[in-house]
Amino acid sequence: MSFDYSGKTVFVAGGTSGINLGVAKAFAKAGARVSVLSRRQEKVNATVAALKALGAEANGYAADVRDYAAVEAALQAAHGQFGAFDVLVSGAAGNFPAKATGMSANAFKSVVDIDLLGTYHVLRAAHPLMKKPGGSIINISAPQAFLPMNMQMHVCSAKAGVDMVTRVGALEWGSEGLRVNSVVPGPIEGTEGMERLAPTEGARKAVIDSVPMKRYGQASEIADCCLWLGSDMAAYVTGAVIPVDGGWALGGATSLGQGFEQLAGG
Ligand code: NAP
Ligand code: COA
């Protein structure tokens, strides 16, 4: 199935690497005008160039999602250039494996501030700039949102909150014709997230064994779900938390989480 986003405006927060870059590129290939935001100017510049090379109108902003004023300024600038957002994807996140007692209070706070507060910042600032009715907001969540995992107390807490932002946003904004959903990626090939959680060949093999479909996913497979959620094909879908994970969230992710400590070493 192919989607036509010609004339549509898409904003991807955290869209300059990994899964979210794959999502930004998919919307660009489908014809959308695409804006991205992340902290590092060089990643923003490279992404804007890559999106333009795909034939899209594109722009980007260097901002930290923990800084509300900077997020708001970026979203307003993108809105000023490309108009109301048909689709907003919020996917900026941070992760590292650490025991609850092996990280400082500031380490825990850093992840919660990026993932949860950052998601709220992006949605709060984007809300007045979304197309209404018809806009679609997509939060990039993680299996940690509903599966407790060893060495992931910070991420589990933050992503559980992200899915509640999704659900409450869907409740409060449904009558405006604005939809809010979460996409929950499984382990995705070649990403920073999996490099951090499964850094060795042994760890990678254990991840694959723990996925019912016995393989890593591709960023393009997450992007396909986002293309659908952003389209009229999903016009009655809101408040949903949708795993795209080869069945990992059925339990394999949790069993793997119990072994992160050993896996990180071998
Ligand atoms: P990634 O490549 O590290 O992507 C993170 C993106 O967010 C980058 O563009 C990064 O760019 C930006 N970012 C990080 N902190 C930020 C901040 N404070 N303010 C603004 N931007 C910030 O990671 P990934 O592994 O592809 O993960 C992408 C998303 O998928 C995350 O939400 C993650 O939780 C979720 N996910 C990933 C997997 C997986 O298999 N990788 C599985 C489940 C869920 P800068 O460094 O320039 O800021
Ligand atoms: N184990 C334990 N604590 C860690 C850690 C680790 N592996 N990595 C960082 N921390 C702690 C730091 O020591 C610091 O705590 P302190 O001030 O008490 O010393 C705190 O976390 C913040 O670290 P800092 O490097 O100052 O934060 P930052 O805002 O520059 O970066 C991170 C945020 C830590 C989440 C960083 O890993 C990041 O930028 N990640 C984005 C990319 C990513 O994680 N991608 C995968 C997405 S799923």
Residue 110 Cβ < 6 Å to ligand 1: no
Tell whether 196 is covered by a domain.
yes
Q: Find out whether the peptide bond into 133 is cis, omega within 30 degrees of 0.
A: yes
Tell whether 4 is covered by a domain.
no
**Residue-number span of the structural domain to which 214 is assigned:** 9-263
Element containing residue 35 per DSSP (H, E)? strand 33-38
Tell whether 40 is covered by a domain.
yes
Mutate to test the pocket of ligand 2, among 96, 111, 197 (most ligand atoms within 8 A of CB): 96
Residue 60 Cβ < 6 Å to ligand 1: no
Residue 17 Cβ < 6 Å to ligand 1: yes
One-letter identity of residue 261: E
Give the distance (Å) from ligand 1 centre to CA of residue 94. 6
| CATH number, domain containing residue 138 | 3.40.50.720
Among candidate residues 266, 184, 260, 239, the one with its CA nearest the CA of residue 217: 184
Tell whether 99 is covered by a domain.
yes
Mutate to test the pocket of ligand 2, among 39, 110, 144, 197 (most ligand atoms within 8 A of CB): 110
Name the domain count of the chain: 1
Ligand nearest to the CA of 91: 1
Tell whether 1 is covered by a domain.
no
Tell whether 69 is covered by a domain.
yes
Residue 38 Cβ < 6 Å to ligand 1: yes
Give the distance (Å) from ligand 2 centre to CA of residue 195. 15
Enter the pTM of the model: 0.97
pLDDT digits (tens), the chain, 266 positions? 799 999 999 999 999 999 999 999 999 999 999 999 999 999 999 999 999 999 999 999 999 999 999 999 999 999 999 999 999 999 999 999 999 999 999 999 999 999 999 999 999 999 999 999 999 999 999 999 999 999 999 999 999 999 999 999 999 999 999 999 999 999 999 999 999 999 999 999 999 999 999 999 999 999 999 999 999 999 999 999 999 999 999 987 776 666 666 555 43
Among candidate residues 179, 192, 182, 180, the one with its CA nearest the CA of residue 142: 182
Tell whether 3 is covered by a domain.
no
Rounded-to-integer distance, Cα 90 and Cα 170, Å? 15
Tell whether 211 is covered by a domain.
yes
